[in-house]
Chain A
Amino acid sequence: MREDFGRALVSLGEEFEELVVLDPDVSTSTRTCYFAERFPKRFLNVGVSEQDMIGMAAGLAASGMLPIATGFAVFVAGRGWEQIRNTVARQRLNVKIAVTHSGLSDHGDGSSHQSVEDIAIMRSIPNMAVVVPADGASASAALRSSILYEGPVYLRLGREETPRIYEEGLELDLGAAEVLRDGSDATIIANGIMVSMALEAAALLAHEGLDVRVVDMHTVKPLDLDCVEKAARETGAIVTAEEHSVIGGLGGAVSEAISELRPTAMARIGIRDRFGESSRTYGELLEKLGLTSRAIAEAARSTVRRRI
């Protein structure tokens, strides 16, 4: 996913001449190095200083530039949180925060480098939009939509390659969920890498005669309330799936909406209030923490049984 991000930045750099990329000295990991090579004058390696980076991005945005602050999710969102809140979001500056290595995708580096709570802390800030694309093509599209969106955006990307879901060149509407598969027995609302697992789960369930809708809720904020309400009304059972804590992320957002709009049987697939850990492969860690298509399918079955 970071590869697509790196390439997309370069082509957007051609298109938007005010675009500036800020990097806390991890450009070879986030793949902003391609942009640095092509546009050295519009690339700022700010050193290992996430807080300073966010402030600088704010100043650039306030003076007519279009800054994209990058880095690892856990450090930019975590260390930069108060700067994002007080300096960027409070005055609604047009700063885009595009991070890689989110969720468990930095599997080898262990829990210090994995971000299981970044969506929750970003989502709670007024004025912030939060976007979690599902694959490379939608990451590129989401980056472009974020740039066109007026105001701060947190764009959350993974480190690893993910199964392809979308065709290249798609247009992604921030705030408008994508229904990837229709169904009437239950709805799986997923984002990020969990979208492809949701599709697998739906295929599994189809064999059992369950007709399951799959929604790519790439924008966690502003949440597509119409889509959520419709899923509750038409299918009566909702499962959320995300590579993030079940507290405060997509599962949290959908639960909040559902409990007000239309109480519905629900289950949340995600990380159960714990930190990650090191693993040799990404898949092993996802498996250990219960982020699998089987887990989603099982949650869907039990939710259908509990339908109100």
Chain B
Amino acid sequence: MSEVEANSGRITQILNRLSKRSGKPLSTLKLNAKILRSLNLIRYREGAGAELSELGRFILELLKEEQWREDWRAGLPSSRVPPRELAAKIKALRRRVLKMLEDAGSGHLASSLSSLTIIATLYLAKMRHDPRNPEWRLRDRFLLGKGHAAPALYAVLAECGYFPEEELSRLRCVGGLLQGHPEASIPGVDSASGSLGQCLSVANGMALAAKMRGEPYRVYVLLGDGELEEGQIWEAAMSGARHRLDNLTVIVDRNGHQLTGPTELVKPLEPLAEKWRAFGWEVLEVDGESPEEILRALTVGEEVKGRPTVILALTRRIEPSTKGERRGAA
């Protein structure tokens, strides 16, 4: 049927082509074509051309949808990095992020590095996504709430093949692809961000849409710990629990610092696990520098029913060494 859709024309020509390509006898294909016609899925126009009927087009859409779902179950990408190789990959990515910030001359180094293991683990070993088809409808989504960690996201997206690695050296260049904070125009970026506190609401919307449409994808959001001081986060935390979004996982990069100092001095977040629990979330705590622990928690989160999951990932803050980061480089 898809062959008819792609090349409407004389039915015998189409069948000949199919026969050559598939090695199936012409008589079998003719019989199939007859069946399609008697089911009213295709029709022959005057002058012996063939085309899909409205019903045929509808059935074809259903078949394509089924194919998509099968792809999803198969779990793209097929080239997942085995957990034991992740650490080496992440080490290489860390070097790339350092180089990016050096090239760009500004940006948030410590914050990018503390998020790197989490983002890399998600994209390289967990999420179902397809760099050849960034808009794949059933892909798992990732939103970077703490948009200032964009360099880490970009390095990982380039590693996946969403855009050429050379782009990384053009971070923050005028007219360049890679903006200081994530833009939707960048292949692989599922939501623009940069203004703290907004992504959890967006993720809720995406997770709700999946439920409404019966789509199987999961939504992942990475939030900064300083970001949790934004009030909208807690509006969204209530919404996530209210709508029982068990297809949503939040990861908090708990590096303990915000721009000007430790979170517990600026605006204390603790007891953080209790806060999320009180808001109706499943709470897990992991070492955010360990891909294995992160992966385990992500899998536990997938099994939780009736409420969303938050993973508090304890990460390491690397002391700033560039002047820009010390000053607050925004």
Contacts and interface: CB of A to CB of B under 8 A. Distances in A.
B205 A58 contact: yes
B204 A87 contact: no
Contacts of B295: none
User: Could you tell me the dominant secondary structure of chain B's interface residues?
Assistant: helix
B238 interface: yes
Interface string B224-244: 000000011001101100100
B229 to A, nearest CB: 14
Nearest to A61: B205
Given A20-B212, A41-B212, A51-B201, A91 B183 contact: yes
Contacts of B194: 86
Contacts of A61: 205
B192 A52 contact: no
Interface string A37-75: 000011010110101111111111111110100000000
A52 B235 CA distance: 6
Given A82-B195, A86-B195, A47 B208 contact: no
B212 A52 contact: no
B174 interface: no
B33 interface: no
A83 interface: yes
A87 B235 contact: no
Given A47-B239, A58-B201, A65 B209 contact: yes
Interface string A68-105: 00000000000000110011001100000000000000
B193 to A, nearest CB: 8
B212 A55 contact: no
Contact of A63 (B195, B210, B235): B210
A59 B240 CA distance: 13
Contact of B206 (A52, A53, A62): A62
Nearest to A53: B201
A62 B141 CA distance: 11
A199 B30 CA distance: 70
A87 B191 contact: yes
Contacts of B200: 55
B191 A91 contact: yes
A54 B201 CA distance: 8
A59 B192 contact: no
Contacts of B190: 62
B202 A65 contact: no
A86 B201 CA distance: 13
Given A20-B212, A44-B208, A90-B183, A55 B201 contact: yes
Contacts of B198: 51, 55, 83, 86-87
Contacts of A90: 183-184, 192
B201 A59 contact: yes
A154 B183 CA distance: 22
6 contacts: A54-B201, A62-B190, A62-B205, A63-B206, A63-B215, A90-B184
Interface of B: 137, 141, 183-185, 190-195, 198-210, 212-213, 215, 231-232, 235-236, 238-239, 242
- Going nearest first, the 7 A-B pairs with the smallest beta carbon separation are A59-B205, A55-B201, A63-B209, A91-B184, A52-B235, A56-B205, A49-B235
